Amino acid sequence: MEIQRVSKTGPANSIQKTETAKESVSFTEVMKSKRGDVLIEKMSTMAKDVEQQGKVLAESRSIDDLKKYKKLVKEFMEEAVGNALQLEDQRGFNRRGRTKVYKIVKEIDQNLVQLTNEVLKKEENGLTILSKIGQIQGLLINVYT
């Protein structure tokens, strides 16, 4: 094997690249938008499930359907509150000069809040039925005791 010496070293062998400035979107912005899209899609499917189960409950009025409906409503509300709202502590003073901690609920995603309100409006009759059923169950428990 033969090794040769390089007599010239310089910029002649290197290739220079010229880069043009492109408008870039940060990774976190892309992830936030995709996360928001996935979250809204998930909430929409959960809302459809609640609506379907509400129809089933209205027709059958069975205990199993009631439990399933309650579970779906609870999961939907937990998801909405967990992702659409934020709880923040803020310190302030009351009239007597003592410090007081204020809890402030901030809306993070207006779309999720609107979706939650729409589902609650649609399921208002189902929720009143649930409250009536809960009252009746309470009365039955009182009768047994």
| pLDDT for 14 | 54
Among residues 119, 123, 109, 113, which one has the least CA distance to residue 45? 119
Beta bridge partners, 100, equal 92
Q: Is the pLDDT of residue 79 over 70?
A: yes
Q: What domains are there in the chain, each with its CATH number? A: 28-137 (1.20.120)
Q: Is the pLDDT of residue 108 over 60?
A: no
| pLDDT for 100 | 79
Report CA 40 to chain centroid distance, whole Å.
7
pLDDT tens column, 11-56: 555 555 555 555 666 777 777 777 777 877 887 888 888 888 878 8
